[in-house]
């Protein structure tokens, strides 16, 4: 018999981890404040603005906790539709004066008195909820898995992901595209689709990636010219900055080299609080490259501690996904795991030349209103799932 309704509880471990992230983020931005103020009035007191975003995100979590997470399934179409509508408006640069281009990408709404809003960030969570609904509805309708039905589920999930992916490529926001791909891939792993289908997809993907790298490395000039001719020169810059940072002076190469110098200069224990020589030379050190500022201040020990906290976060999310016996809840948490895991790996990986440069923030740490609200929204969903996990007296576990 169920006995959890009267014994519902919060996941204090997860809350504590998020609070630690908030402290690290605000403190890091505080140490950067003297350098940020030199960039202009828009960069003054970013640590205070980040505190406001965390407070707003906490209020959002409280609102999410008021409702059973299963209600999200009822409005999944609405949330997904709102996300697509916002991306569609940006595609047409509508409304004029509100749709805003930043660093060559039409990805923001400039809202007077509020600031900027990036719909692509919220689309990540909306897609997770919608994909979870698709998976549950399909498995309820087709409880017996056959190759035909599995392929049908795969097609539905692919279409749901490809629609926002198309709009993100038009902004362009290829970092966001890769996050949506990672979310969908993680959810496919637990969808019940036969492993031979999944392994076929994975194998095909690896072959395609290896083929693309082989062609690029062996026909570099021809591929670069093709990309330039199709207005994809920024991809060339980032590929060359990743593969050959010592040979090119593009922005991506400069950022990669400077980030690695900043991380290396921190050595074991760092240069001390607020002491920077390299990290503040990177254009976006308060967002995309904030990991470098932490490594320069606190060295290998500080950077390793931050990575350890991320491991604890992912471990806790996996625990909750496994503990929940509701497929819809487990699918949502799995998608959130995919979102956080990829973004952490990508952000830190590009700082150490392990991966090419993309404009992805470090979750919970980088400055940003839309991203911070999105991550806290995701945490709110996970807390809601944990709060309503039912346990049974004669449970086999």
pLDDT one-digit tens code per residue, 70-96: 999 999 999 999 999 999 999 998 888
**Of the ranges 16-30, 143-157, 168-182, 283-297, which is most confident?**
16-30
Instruction: Residue 15: count other Cβ atoms within 10 Å of its Cβ.
Output: 14
Pick the range with the lowest mean pLDDT from 79-88, 212-221, 386-395: 386-395
**Residue 303 clears pLDDT 70, i.e. is over it:** yes
**Residue 4 clears pLDDT 50, i.e. is over it:** no
- What is the band of 268 on the pLDDT scale with cuts at 50, 70, 90? very high
Length of the chain: 397
- Rounded-to-integer distance, Cα 144 and Cα 256, Å: 49
Q: What angle do CA 264, 39, 57 make, to 5 degrees?
A: 80
Q: Which two tokens stand for residue 250?
A: 């593009």
- What is the band of 8 on the pLDDT scale with cuts at 50, 70, 90? low
- What is the band of 103 on the pLDDT scale with cuts at 50, 70, 90? confident
**Residue 56 clears pLDDT 50, i.e. is over it:** yes
- Rounded-to-integer distance, Cα 357 and Cα 256, Å: 8
Stated pTM of the model: 0.92
**Residue 391 clears pLDDT 70, i.e. is over it:** no
pLDDT, position 3: 42
- What is the band of 210 on the pLDDT scale with cuts at 50, 70, 90? very high
**Residue 2 clears pLDDT 80, i.e. is over it:** no
Cβ-count burial of 51 within 10 angstroms (0-12 exposed, 13-18 middle, 19+ buried)?
middle
pLDDT, position 168: 95
- Summarize the confidence of residues 321-331 as an average pLDDT: 94
- Summarize the confidence of residues 336-345 as an average pLDDT: 96
- Summarize the confidence of residues 326-345 as an average pLDDT: 96
- What is the band of 1 on the pLDDT scale with cuts at 50, 70, 90? very low
- Summarize the confidence of residues 299-303 as an average pLDDT: 95
pLDDT, position 232: 72
pLDDT, position 343: 96
């Amino acid at each position: 018999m169920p006995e959890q309704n009267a014994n519902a509880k919060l996941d204090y471990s997860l809350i504590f981890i998020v609070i630690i992230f908030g402290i690290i983020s605000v403190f890091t931005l505080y140490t950067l404040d003297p350098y940020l103020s030199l960039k202009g009035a828009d960069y003054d007191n970013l640590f205070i603005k980040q505190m406001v975003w965390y407070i707003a995100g906490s209020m959002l979590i409280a609102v999410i906790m008021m409702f059973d997470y299963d209600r999200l399934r009822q409005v999944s179409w609405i949330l997904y539709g709102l996300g697509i509508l916002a991306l569609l408006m940006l595609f047409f640069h509508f409304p004029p004066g509100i749709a805003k281009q930043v660093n060559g990408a039409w990805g923001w709404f400039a809202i007077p008195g509020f600031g900027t809003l990036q719909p692509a960030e919220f689309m990540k969570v909306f897609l997770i909820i919608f994909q979870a609904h698709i998976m549950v509805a399909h498995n309820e309708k087709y409880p017996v898995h056959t190759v035909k039905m599995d392929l049908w589920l795969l097609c539905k999930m692919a279409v749901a992901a490809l629609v926002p992916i198309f709009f993100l490529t038009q902004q362009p926001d290829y970092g966001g595209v890769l996050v949506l791909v990672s979310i969908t891939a993680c959810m496919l792993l637990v969808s019940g689709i036969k492993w031979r289908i999944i392994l076929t997809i994975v194998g095909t993907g690896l072959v395609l990636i290896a083929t693309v790298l082989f062609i690029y490395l062996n026909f570099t000039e021809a591929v670069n010219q093709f990309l330039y001719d199709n207005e994809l020169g920024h991809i060339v810059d980032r590929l060359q900055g990743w593969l050959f940072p010592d040979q090119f002076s593009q922005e991506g190469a400069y950022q990669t080299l400077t980030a690695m110098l900043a991380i290396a200069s921190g050595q074991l224990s760092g240069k001390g609080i607020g002491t920077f020589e390299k990290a503040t030379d990177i254009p976006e050190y308060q967002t995309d490259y904030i990991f470098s500022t932490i490594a320069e201040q606190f060295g290998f020990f500080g950077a390793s501690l931050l990575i350890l906290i991320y491991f604890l976060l992912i471990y806790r999310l996996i625990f909750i996904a496994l503990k929940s016996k509701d497929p819809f809840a487990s699918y949502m948490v799995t998608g959130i795991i995919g979102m956080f895991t990829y973004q952490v790996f990508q952000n830190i990986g590009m700082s150490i030349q392990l991966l090419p440069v993309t404009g992805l923030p470090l979750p919970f740490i980088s400055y940003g209103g839309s991203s911070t609200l999105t991550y806290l929204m995701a945490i709110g969903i996970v807390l809601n799932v944990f709060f309503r996990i039912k346990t049974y007296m004669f449970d086999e576990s």
